[in-house]
Chain A
């Protein structure tokens, strides 16, 4: 309709609409077939020009919006592609038209980046509509009535892909990239989280994507392209990376390697667990639930010091003092305002949302992942690492994050895969034995070059406070540590040697240790996923390092210090420094790193890690105790045990909020699930900590105050031991 409130220039709309209708249409007298207009190819080119010269150049989304309203994709483009039958590949005009359709489809399905600096009112006006349009595009592409659209897209590119790399023109390369970007866009589109959706979105969920990709041989295409990366393909690496990322992000690796029966058994267990948990919750509520109707009108006085009383109403407060105090607190109206989350990522680059897939897709994806590991992992990931190191123009910042996320993901997949084979062998199943060289399948990322680039990227992410990048790097690092650990337990002597070597290289640099401390110090409400990753990394790192340093008693570390610091300690050199004040800046710039080796002391390392900040980090994750799995609860338990009893730093835990949290976990209400396998361990740990706390409170009355605060480092030792630290003066 052409009323004045139309948000798009009517002239633009008229032009675009006339082009869309000139493109062609389904006619009743042709049996509902789609008939191309006389100048269809020119129309497609014009539409492309509109998108480019109007939308792109003026930074608007008007044409895209018009095309969405005119239903161009589902009404025309897909129909045109469908009409290009498999038995007529050599029709030149038709293949040209098909390519022109794809050239429109790719920009129309391109993700809309919200984070762009130049977001205008116009964008905000059109974005919700276009997001929903994307969903309908994806639905049309995946589930077209008559034709496999994705397969048709591959056919457009086959002539170009068939050419050897050297003979390809830039147009050929463009076509190949166009197709890969098309698949990436399809994989990326997901139901927008911020918009209401009218029905269940199963038909465009990840499962549907995987199923279609498998049925239409796109997964094969990915395998082919990535296994010959470097030979037949070169600059397509980052697009394949993106495609893989959007296909695999958020998928739980251990679950992927469960068989159908195991999966359903697990699901059943899960259901049983959930039901038990719910029953437990009901029980605990029933204990305090009112036994009379809600207007029964009970009221009590709570007598307090200094002749004061507090008034409370409700029957639940009659039962015990604990309840009445809890109710007193609940009834307070002020709530500390919760700040909104800063720096929200565009949804499609977020890998922290778990993604569930159906068991059929699970099987398909697993087959793909295994084939990928066998043939494509090393070529692709080595190639991309080199591209990242050379800082190629095509490598964007986001690719570095995706790279490390996927490296970590595939390392975990490889471990789970070995685990699965072992399981199957144990059951006596007739399976081919696990490849003895299976560590070689991921060797491409277990080399010094990768470690260097991972270290650099983590340090950069830390310096720039880009937490999502850091998160991906940490996930990758954790998986490398776990893989190397598994390697060191391999029956093959060669594997053990390599593992030894790698561990030595990882743990040798003190900068690696220092970075871990820095990450812990950097914690400041970055959200659940960051907490989970950070605690896992510190947990794994501590354990591996402890084990390694025990096995290698004479382990050395190389520490690097600025040369100037040493000078300052020397009074003569210090005086010289003051004399030549002018050259100081120069000197700082030139300040050399002095490296020296010294013996590694695990206890010193652990005491540097187990700090108030680290305790805060673990406590922050513990607050989610009701949503954590057994593995995570174990990890937290080990840490608190280490802090309180191994490191004898229980004072760090003596803070009212932490004590209240522990108390709530065990005593409820809404405590830790009592049937949970780790409940016993936690109960014992908390009891021991409380025992220590009560004893300490009696021994040192100053704790009455100190328990309110984070401890000052200088008083920490005294509070723990009751005397000052004896510092041994160096000769």
Chain B
């Protein structure tokens, strides 16, 4: 340090790189094409049930359907954790309006 005259000119300035922000499972992601719109689309042609007598197979099929959807949407989270995150998002004002809209849409389709 004495050699540099104590001025510190020769010292390299270290620039701390900013960490890349972790992807989040938030409203925009949930409402994006890979989110709920995809779920609604896929459910129509992928979710077929065998019905009476096959309750448990039907339900495990249902659960697998959601697990794969969630894995595509947000691969980081485990199934249970991802579900908890989505459930939490459902409490927001915007999501509640959206949810009501989806229900109404379906009702109109059903009424036709």
Known A-B contacts A656-B66, A693-B59, A694-B59; A329 and B78 likewise in contact (beta carbons under 8 Å) = yes
Q: Contact at B68–A663, with CB atoms within 8 Å? A: no
Q: Which residue of the partner chain, among B75, B78, B91, contacts A710 with CB atoms under 8 Å? A: B91
Which 5 A-B residue pairings sit nearest by Cβ, starting from the closest?
A: A709-B90, A690-B55, A704-B43, A702-B106, A336-B81
B103 within 8 Å of A by Cβ? yes
Report how far A325 CA is from B69 CA in the complex, Å.
12
Q: Given A328-B71, A334-B78, A698-B49, A690 and B100 touching (CB < 8 A)?
A: no
- Chain A: minimal CB distance from B99 (Å): 7
Q: Is the CB of A705 within 8 A of B76?
A: no
- B83 partner, pick from A656, A691, A706, A714, beta carbons under 8 A: A656
Q: Which single residue of chain B is at the shortest CB-CB distance from A690?
A: B55
Chain B, 59-71, contact with A by CB distance < 8 Å: what is the 0/1 string? 1101110111001
Could you say which of A666, A697, A712 contacts B56, with CB atoms under 8 Å apart? A666
Q: Complex Cα distance A612/B102, Å?
A: 21
Beta-carbon contact of A659 and B76 below 8 Å: no
**When chains A and B are docked, how far (Å) is the Cα of A687 from the Cα of B59?**
10
Which residues 315-355 in A have Cβ within 8 Å of B in the complex?
321-322, 325, 328-329, 332, 334-336
A700: Cβ under 8 A from any B Cβ: yes
B81 touches A718 (CB 8 A): no
**14 interchain pairs, CB-CB under 8 A:** A304-B68, A322-B64, A329-B67, A329-B79, A336-B78, A657-B84, A659-B63, A700-B106, A701-B40, A704-B39, A706-B99, A708-B83, A710-B90, A718-B103
A694 touches B49 (CB 8 A): yes
Given A329-B79, A708-B87, A709-B86, are A322 and B68 neighbors across the interface (CB < 8 Å)? no
In the complex, are the beta carbons of B60 and A663 less than 8 A apart?
yes
**What bracket does the count of chain B residues touching chain A fall in?**
35 or more
- Is A271 interfacial (CB 8 A cutoff)? no
CB distance from B88 to the nearest CB of A (A): 9
Interface flag for B9 (CB, 8 Å): no
Task: Tell yes or no: A93 within 8 A of B by CB.
Answer: no
Of B44, B87, B105, which is in contact with the most chain A CB atoms at under 10 Å from its CB?
B87
Given contacts A329-B67, A708-B86, A709-B90, contact A690 B78 (CB under 8 A): no
Q: Quick one: which of A280-339 are within 8 Å of B by CB?
A: 304-305, 308, 310, 321-322, 325, 328-329, 332, 334-336
Residue of A nearest to B104 (CB): A702
- Which one of B36, B44, B56, B78 lies within 8 Å of A667 (CB-CB)? B56
Q: A656-B83, A712-B100 are in contact. List 19 more A-B contacts (CB 8 A).
A: A325-B68, A329-B79, A332-B77, A336-B81, A336-B84, A657-B83, A660-B83, A663-B59, A663-B63, A666-B56, A690-B56, A693-B59, A694-B58, A706-B103, A708-B87, A709-B87, A709-B95, A709-B99, A715-B103
Do B102 and A702 touch (CB < 8 A)? Answer: yes
Q: Mark A647-666, 1 if CB is under 8 A from B, else 0.
A: 00000000111011001001
